[in-house]
Amino acid sequence: MDLSEYQRVKNSIVGFIQKYEPIWDKEKPLPPFPFIIGTGFIVREDGLIATNSHVTKAFSKAFNPPKAPKDEWPVLAYLFKITSAGVLRIPLEILGFFGISLFKSGEVYYGPKEGPDISFVQVRAKGLPLLTIDDKTQIIEGMEVCTAGFPMGTDALTAPGYLHQISPTLQKGIVSCVLPFTCSAPHTYAINVMTQAGASGSPVFLPDSGKVIGILYAGLNDFRQTVKQKDIYTVPTNISYVVPSHYLRDALTQIEKMEELQLPKETRSLDEMVAEGKPIISFSSEAKPEIRRIDEEP
């Protein structure tokens, strides 16, 4: 499996974060990283990002203080950019999003009645690195695939109690099954990769080309029961579901004909944002551990 294309793919993956953090205790420090709602990936250089509809529905539930501007979303898209100085966190302002208003299935259809779980977020930016959607490759069982995003959201980035990761997490696997069966236009397919909250909207792509063949949207959960209280709870499995890329391509074709896709004239390019940005983590070659025998007094 050739994963050399991933270095390019991850430059197009964004995390949707909560813009504001509620402060219930003034003595308690702010979290080291904003709360991650979900994942998305750039499909047009002029500010269009693909994700799940259940991710964009969560935007309205993000914390929004009373004095916040009423014409702004309480969510940002974060794009991470590696430079010679370090990692830049580029905030992309959300202008709105495109979603499915009406879905008509064919005579034989086994998917969800509301249609595929996809949405497209428009941000105020241009000159963005985009991923190519491949809707020609037939999805078959056993083919190797990759996905990358932000599983477990902020928890994965701050696992030790401080910020120690500034990048998406890459996973690989195979297509486990095509639903309802192997055909030219399946309603979904499953991969043997565990998904967790935050990974929704992650691209599923071919490892050798980096072309997107779907978008991660859900996982298959199992059920467990506590011994004493007999409470039922769910646990994730390593089976996750993907919206096939033919839905992405069909939706994107319609969006590209809409006048609403036009960006405001004052929109800045990614290069301009990078030139003004400051690294949140800088590279350093000076940090060196000091070694001594631990059974001796310091």
- pLDDT > 60? residue 298: no
pTM (2 decimals)?
Answer: 0.90
Which regions of 45-140 does DSSP assign to beta strands (E)? 48-51, 75-82, 86-99, 119-123
Q: Is pLDDT at 30 greater than 80 in this prediction? A: no
- Per-residue pLDDT, averaged over 284-288, amounts to 65
pLDDT(179) > 70:
yes
Within-domain flag for 295: no
pLDDT of residue 92: 95
Q: Each residue of 90-101: pLDDT tens digit?
A: 999 999 999 988
For residue 1, is it within any domain? no
Ramachandran angles phi, psi of 168, nearest 5°: -65, 165
Whether 62 is in a domain gets the answer yes
pLDDT at 280: 65
| All residues at 6 or more sequence positions from 121 whose CB lies less than 8 Å from its CB, including other chains | 16, 40, 48, 49, 50, 51, 56, 77, 94, 96, 97
Average pLDDT on 3-31 reads 86
* Helices of type H across the chain: 6-9, 53-59, 154-157, 245-255, 270-276
124 inside domain: yes
pLDDT in tens, 140-161: 999 999 999 999 999 999 999 8
Looking at the domain assignment, is residue 292 inside a domain? no
Residue ranges making up the domain that contains 184? 6-278
Average pLDDT over residues 25-48: 89
Is residue 68 a part of any domain in this protein?
yes
Q: Is 297 contained in some domain?
A: no
Region 54-72: mean pLDDT is 89
Residue at 283 is within a domain: no
Q: What is the pLDDT of residues 249-264, one digit of tens each?
A: 999 999 999 988 989 9
1 pLDDT above the threshold of 60: no
Q: Count H helices, E strands: the chain?
A: 5, 13
CATH number for the domain harbouring residue 10: 2.40.10.120
Query: ∠80-84-90 over CA atoms, to 5°?
Result: 25
Q: Which has the closest alpha carbon to 201: 1, 91, 8, 40?
A: 40
The CA distance from 284 to 160, in Å, is 20
Our count of domains for the chain comes to 1
